[in-house]
Amino acid sequence: MIFLKRALVAEDEDSIREFIVINLKYNGFEVVDVPDGTSALEEYHASGGNFDIALLDIMMPGVDGLEVCKRLRQENTNIGIIMLTAKTQEMDKVSCLLMGADDYVTKPFSLSELLARIDAVYRRVSLSINNKGKSESENCLTSGEFVLDLRNHSLTQKGRLVELTQVEFQIMEYFFLNQGVALSRTDILKKVWGSDRIGEEKIVDVNIRRLRMKIEKEPSTPKHLVTIWGVGYKWIS
């Protein structure tokens, strides 16, 4: 069976949007492109949420990209979201991630960089499809009160469903496969985002912060996702 890849592109600069659309189509995507955030939300809902990835410019007229990202993430934990920004300040990157983005690309970006980001995010989205043929025993990783279901890409804590993005799920899978092992930020960055992101460990810290908000009773004093000073993080069930 062939699974058609679908992308939503929201960018108010025509030349950039056309550049992205042409190259996405060349790489096998069906693309819907719009010039603003309001249209992006309208197209998303008109399709019934039938998109694999969304590329959103931060600065758009009307509803900005951060708000679009926030709304899409609230409705869909599976869609891959990449933010496009001309800003270089650290806080803008952090804001993207806190709103639920999987990754970001800073303008001006090269074609190879953009396609690498898109490919990495799409691979995460498609993991749930690839796991559906596995047996039940292969599909679940257990750690204390937590169960990670690889087929449904879901995490439960004492039977309570914990909503995870694709990035958060991949981080948790890495921790579950290395329980009690101190993993460096670089280890996590390479595993989840790829070796081309070395030097951007902040992206790991922001996602760990988000995960703690979801699974820790007291996120400021975590018992499961603990910090190993000078190293990185360790998972304790």
Most confident of 27-36, 81-90, 102-111: 27-36
Please give the average per-residue pLDDT across 175-183, as a whole number.
95
Instruction: List phi, psi (to 5°) of 150.
Output: -75, -25
Instruction: From 97, 1, 139, 117, select the one nearest 55 (Cα to Cα).
Output: 117
CB under 8 Å to 110, separation ≥6 — which residues?
A: none
Instruction: Say yes or no: domain 136-235 is CATH 3.40.140.10.
Output: no
Please give the average per-residue pLDDT across 36-40, as a whole number.
96
| Residue 41 predicted with pLDDT over 50 | yes
CA end-to-end span of the chain: 39
**How confident is the prediction for the chain on average, in pLDDT?**
89
Task: Note the pLDDT of residue 135.
Answer: 45
| Residue 36 predicted with pLDDT over 90 | yes
Task: Note the pLDDT of residue 134.
Answer: 47
Query: Would you state the structure tokens that stand for residue 109, as one six-digit string?
Result: 């970006």
CA angle 154, 158, 160 (to 5 degrees): 50
Distance CA 66, CA 79 (A): 15
Model confidence pLDDT, tens digit, residues 112-160: 999 999 998 998 888 655 554 444 456 889 999 999 998 888 899 999 9
Please give the average per-residue pLDDT across 175-181, as a whole number.
95
89 pLDDT band, cuts 50/70/90, is low
Q: Using a pLDDT cut of 90, give the percent of the chain over it.
A: 71
pTM tops 0.75: yes
Please give the average per-residue pLDDT across 87-110, as a whole number.
85
| Residue 213 predicted with pLDDT over 70 | yes
What homologous superfamily does CATH list for 5-130? Response regulator (3.40.50.2300)
Task: Note the pLDDT of residue 123.
Answer: 86
Give the start-to-end residue ranges of the domains of the chain.
5-130, 136-235
Task: Note the pLDDT of residue 138.
Answer: 61
Instruction: List phi, psi (to 5°) of 191.
Output: -65, -45
Q: Using a pLDDT cut of 70, give the percent of the chain over it.
A: 92
